[in-house]
Amino acid sequence: MLSTSSDPDCPLVEFVGVEKVYDGGRPAVANLDLAVRKGEFLTLLGPSGSGKTTTLMMLAGFEAPTGGDIRLGGRSIAGTPPHRRNMGVVFQSYALFPHMTVGQNIKFPLDVRGIRGLEAEARLAEVLALVHLEGLADRRPDQLSGGQRQRVALARALIFRPDIVLMDEPLGALDRQLRERLQSEIKQIQHRIGATVVYVTHDQTEALTMSDRIAVFSGGLVQQVDTPQNIYDRPANAFVAGFIGENNGIPGVVTARGEATCEIRIAGDLVVQATPVGSIAPGDAVLATVRPEHVLTEIGGDIPCNRFSAAIEELVYHGDHSRIRAILPGGATLTMRAPGRAALSQSQPLTVSWCADRCLAFPAEPALAEAAE
């Protein structure tokens, strides 16, 4: 078992210039520099094929990096087999032994480490209580619900007191209500025992609600590493803005650039005030983004920000709010939300508005740049 540095300022895990290439193809993970702090809940988030699971598998030791180094407590773990990395792993498929009882499954990592007898029983009782499975030690996996099986897998990953717990889409096979309940339970357990967790998911809501920090992956590259609040409110680029949560994206061309804001001409010769992100100059094609909750709907009034007439294309009642899809005069579409009891009808004219500090302008991808011209 590896020993780790006692320096409190040393990250628990460091990826240093890590790359993974399969069979001479394009890198699945490229130039990865990422640190995991002791005691934090870090989520690797991204679409399928973005590199997040490959990163987790390299940390676990199930995949070897093509280049770079991975360090645990300041020490390289290159060449260290998985069973000597002192990491608990929880998979989506549970990976339980069907012929073993719950107690035997959970104690298996202790058996491998030669920990048996009273100490093993004491640890079993401790983790069963932690995951709310008291009294179920003698059942077999096929006698449990999906949520109970995932609790068994979590208990098995915790019983040997690992340096870090790795979770690969652990709640992906569960229904929404159970998934949300287990999200809360996992966070409570993590806080209670001070565990360091690296968690893989493609579910943006799951990442936002559970994480201390999120690393957003796309195309094998980390696009942004930050707190959930900053990832949502201050995305680093157009990909993050579009991938995290719901966002309206309006292509346009910059006509003027100030210190804090810029003017963008969009379809219909409408002018939008926005907050520039990155290197943006007059003449550049950009994507202006504004989240639905930041678009105001009104019949009258004078609001000192972007304000346009619009036609309601779709109005869907959701109880606590109505979801509106509206079209601006130039053809650009916006999705927004209005209070559920708002007196709106699909035939009435609408005024929509949003403020420049809630509208971010990003350099456009090539396809969007062509659309803006």
The token pair that represents 244 in the structure block: 């995290």
Residue 9 has a pLDDT of 60
Identify whether 103 is part of a domain: yes
Domain boundary among 238, 269, 303: 238
The answer to whether the CB of 226 falls within 8 A of the CB of 213 is yes
Domain boundary among 214, 238, 262: 238
Report helix, strand or coil for 121. helix
Task: Classify residue 15 as left (phi > 0), alpha (psi -120 to 50) or beta.
Answer: beta
Quickly state the pLDDT bin for 304 (edges 50, 70, 90).
Answer: low
The answer for residues whose C-beta is within 8 angstroms of residue 147's C-beta and 6 or more apart is 174, 178, 181, 182
Measured CA to CA, the distance from residue 25 to residue 19 in angstroms comes to 12
Residue 95 has a pLDDT of 86
In the predicted model, is pLDDT for residue 118 greater than 90? yes
Same domain? For 30 and 131 the reply is: yes
Same domain? For 233 and 281 the reply is: no
CATH number for the domain including 112? 3.40.50.300
Domain boundary among 184, 207, 238: 238
Task: Please give the residue range of the domain that contains residue 352.
Answer: 248-372
- Give the dihedral of Cα atoms 270, 276, 278, 279; nearest 10 deg: 60
Residue 333 has a pLDDT of 94
Same domain? For 185 and 330 the reply is: no
Same domain? For 133 and 186 the reply is: yes
Same domain? For 59 and 207 the reply is: yes
Same domain? For 86 and 231 the reply is: yes
CA 239 to chain centre: 13
Read off the pLDDT of residues 145-174 as tens digits, 9 standing for 90 and up: 988 999 999 999 999 999 999 999 988 878
Read off the pLDDT of residues 223-257 as tens digits, 9 standing for 90 and up: 999 999 999 999 999 999 999 989 999 999 999 99
The two beta strands, 41-45 and 67-72, are unpaired
**Taking the CB of residue 98, how many other CB atoms lie within 10 A of it?**
8
Read off the pLDDT of residues 45-74 as tens digits, 9 standing for 90 and up: 999 999 999 999 999 999 999 999 999 999
Angle at 219 between CA 217 and CA 220, to 5 degrees: 65
Q: Which of 79, 31, 80 is nearest to 51 (CA)?
A: 31
Residue 15 has a pLDDT of 98
Position 309, amino acid: S
Same domain? For 126 and 47 the reply is: yes
Residue 173 has a pLDDT of 76
For the chain, percent of residues with pLDDT exceeding 90: 75
Read off the pLDDT of residues 172-227 as tens digits, 9 standing for 90 and up: 878 888 889 999 999 999 999 999 999 999 999 999 999 999 999 999 999 999 99
Q: What is the mean pLDDT of the chain?
A: 89
Whole-structure pTM over 0.75, yes or no?
yes
The answer to whether the CB of 291 falls within 8 A of the CB of 235 is no
Measured CA to CA, the distance from residue 185 to residue 295 in angstroms comes to 34
Identify whether 6 is part of a domain: no
Measured CA to CA, the distance from residue 58 to residue 48 in angstroms comes to 17
Q: Average of pLDDT values for 122-151?
A: 93
For the chain, percent of residues with pLDDT exceeding 70: 91
Same domain? For 190 and 87 the reply is: yes
Same domain? For 318 and 205 the reply is: no
